[in-house]
Amino acid sequence: MNVRATSSRLLFGLILLMVTASGCQTVATPGFEKITPGMDQAEVRSILGDPSSTYDRLIGTDGVLVRFERWQYGDTPSTLATGMVFSDLPSDEVWAVFFDEEGLVIKAQSPVLGVSGPRPVEFPDMIPSRSR
């Protein structure tokens, strides 16, 4: 077997492993602790910057709230893919800020270290999504 081809495959495998591993890590989001209920979107953006992903408020055809508007910070390729399938649930690996119909913060949720995948979000006195 050609040594050059073997070296190229090994190098490609190592690069792929590093990219995959780094894509699964949650990064720190300075300022997240400053986000409080009642802030508007401009205030959140001035503290945290642009979100890595956003999800619009969604009302079902039956008039039931399916999803609050949500901005996420610290997304990885994995959390973005999860968001495409489970858009009404934030991943445990990202910071999420939820907004009411007026664009005011109702909840800020930090990541849960050591846990991955979507998790239910509980809002006191509010209708949860249909999936919960």
112-124 pLDDT tens trace: 766 555 555 555 5
Is 69 contained in some domain?
A: yes
Of 24 and 122, the one with more pLDDT = 122
Neighbours of 31 (CB within 10 A): 13
Q: What is the mean pLDDT of the chain?
A: 75
- Domains identified in the chain, total number: 1
> pLDDT digit string (tens) for 61-111?
898 888 889 999 999 998 898 888 888 778 888 999 999 999 999 999 988
Single pTM value for the model? 0.65
CB neighbour class for 125 (10 Å; exposed up to 12, middle 13-18, buried from 19) = exposed
Residue 70's domain comprises 26-109
CATH at 92: 3.30.1450
User: From CA 86, how far away is CA 34, in angstroms rounded?
Assistant: 27
Residue 53 included in any domain:
yes
In a domain, 95, yes or no: yes
